[in-house]
Amino acid sequence: MSQTTIKQLADRLASGKTSSVELCQDYLARIQAGNPKLNAFITVDAERTLAEARAADARRAANNAGPLTGVPIAHKDIFCAEGWLTTCGSKMLANFVSPYDAHVIGQFKAAGMPCLGKTNMDEFAMGSSTETSYYGPTRNPWDSARVPGGSSGGSAAAVAARITPAATGTDTGGSIRQPAALCGITGLKPTYGVVSRYGMIAFASSLDQGGPMATTAEDCALLLNVMAGFDARDSTSLEREKEDYTRDLARPLAGLRIGLPKEFFGAGLSGDTAIAVEAAIEQFKKLGAVIVEVSLPNSGLSVAAYYVIAPAEASSNLSRFDGVRYGYRTPDYGDLTEMYEKSRAEGFGAEVKRRIMIGTYVLSHGYYDAYYLQAQKLRRLIAQDFAAAYRQCDVILGPTAPTTAFKLGEKADDPVEMYLSDIYTIAVNLAGLPGMSLPCGLDGQGLPIGLQLIGDYFSEARMLNVAHQYQLATDWHQRTPGGF
């Protein structure tokens, strides 16, 4: 059962070959066996999960089921879920039980998909390795001495280890795509505004976007059908007609123009990753695609721009965590000011504090124009580079990450080196474009390599088509880590 895709599980439920209760019991048992090795889940509530599964089975019995009713899913612990502990991987929210559902959680509830639990993540989504979590690091199922990527590392590791068939993630600078690459699964970041951010605890509001993580592009399309949609409670949610993201999956790739940015294939890219991506390019040629060289001249400045804009927005968003209304409050204080200071000093981890300080600095008087405003100008130039590239091609292809999974602790003392893990993904968020990662090979140590596809605005269906056709021709997405 654990090797079955979302689509296959849905078909089994529809045919009556299995029940949602049986599926959830199987996955809960796998979580119990596998999570101690991985630390992929923060919270599991078997009683609540099985109650949701029984409700899904009742819907099927009453002929009131949707396409995915009864299929279980895990959620990144950044999404508020009513009655569930919602920690954002932080001591600051270690005692916070959400009183309401995020829009994304509500959509999955309405679809009848039981929640298997809340997955581990970098604290407040700030990190590229899931090592900054208050609950300890998540381990990569391909090699437990290595990171799964971040910040959606818990979701990625859980899907890769097949202890959940799918999971939600969020992507601010690559936090769905980079862990998907390092764990050998498929992950999709939609166009900014396609998925509501309501109830998704904010890191950087102009960059954050929720998306699906699963084993295949087809599964991601089915999950995006559930997640996407207008939400009046989110001012950045786009009011668009509902789409069927599976509609183009079977479309042939003959004549597809794939753009290769020369900036993605230079210094810093590991040899094994380059070889795997080149092999994927050859496969696309066999499928009828045409390769076009494009240029994204300002992409090299994306990391610098991101680490001004994202901390600035984080500094503002995290000001609400002050020990007054909810979350952690220091037990020992003399007055209100001391309570603020000690609650924040004790509640936030080192990486979060670092980004708050950077963000506060760049927004301060005398530095706003020199840093924040200049970063926003760079952001516009990066978006213009993509617009120019899409006049020459239909989709852009490149590596997701410069290397495969690195060892736990290897980059912990060098924040800049850690930040460069997202060098190929950040520009997509700055421009608000859709992007996805899918497995395309293994390196010399048997670790997964990710291939990134970047589409133009609202081209998720076409991008999923490209990924699906590649996965029909290859089996990298079917590879599983030993022991799982």
- Number of Cβ within 10 Å of residue 143's Cβ equals 18
Beta bridge partners of 453: 397, 436
Rounded Cα–Cα distance for residues 125 and 163 (Å)? 22
Any residues with CB less than 8 A from the CB of 482 and at least 6 apart, and which?
none
**Could you give the C-alpha distances from 65 to 61, 76, 81, 110, 111, in angstroms and in order?**
8, 25, 22, 10, 8
Q: Supply angle C-alpha 138, 217, 205, rounded to 5.
A: 60
Closest CA relative to residue 378, chosen from 295, 298, 296, 314: 298
Residue with tokens 């990066």: 382
Rounded Cα–Cα distance for residues 117 and 138 (Å)? 15
Residue with tokens 């919602």: 86
Rounded Cα–Cα distance for residues 287 and 449 (Å)? 21
**Could you give the C-alpha distances from 361 to 315, 355, 368, 379, in angstroms and in order?**
9, 10, 8, 19
Residues serving a catalytic function are 76, 151, 175
Buried b (16+ CB within 10 A) or exposed e, 409-448: ebbbeebeebbbbbbbbbbbbbbbbbbbbbbbbbbeeebb
